[in-house]
Amino acid sequence: MTNKPTATTTESMGSAIIPTLRYRDASAAIEWLCDVVGFSKHLIVQQDDGHIAHAQLTLGHSMIMLGSVNNENNNAYGQLIKQPDELGDVQTQSAYIVVQDADAIYANIIRAEARIAIDIKDEEYGGRGFSFFDLEGHLWNIGTYNPWLG
């Protein structure tokens, strides 16, 4: 039997997997994600020039990290990341957010005039959800289906 490495999670730590994103206008993205989706600011590190070096946003016990695109132009990680519009709006990954009320967030997304990718619907496997593009074209999925609960 092979020993498999495991990620440790605790209630105080939240998820051991944290999606990371980059935005050209990270400050605007932070405000939008908080106002429209319901994230809360956990940590914002702003550079002297106003760009975001690093930000952490939380939603319940979950977290995302983000920063300004230009912050990474000269490092190895930044060379690996492209924005959706640089790839013809093709996505290479997306995040799924488990929520209690997908319809309430859907209403916020509609009010914010975000582009809906997949309209809200009940899923055959359970739950209700939808997909949308944020203000810089990143694809997000929102749903009530919680795979931890089955």
Choose which CATH entry (3.90.1300.10, 3.90.1150.10, 3.40.50.300, 3.30.720.120) describes domain 17-83: 3.30.720.120
- Over residues 109-133, the pLDDT tens digits come to 999 999 999 999 999 999 999 999 9
Locate CATH 3.30.720.120 in the chain: 17-83
Question: Virtual CA dihedral for 85, 87, 91, 93, nearest 10 degrees?
Answer: -110
pLDDT band at 54 (very low <50, low <70, confident <90, very high): very high
pLDDT, tens only, 67-126: 999 755 557 777 788 899 988 988 888 999 999 999 999 999 999 999 999 999 999 999
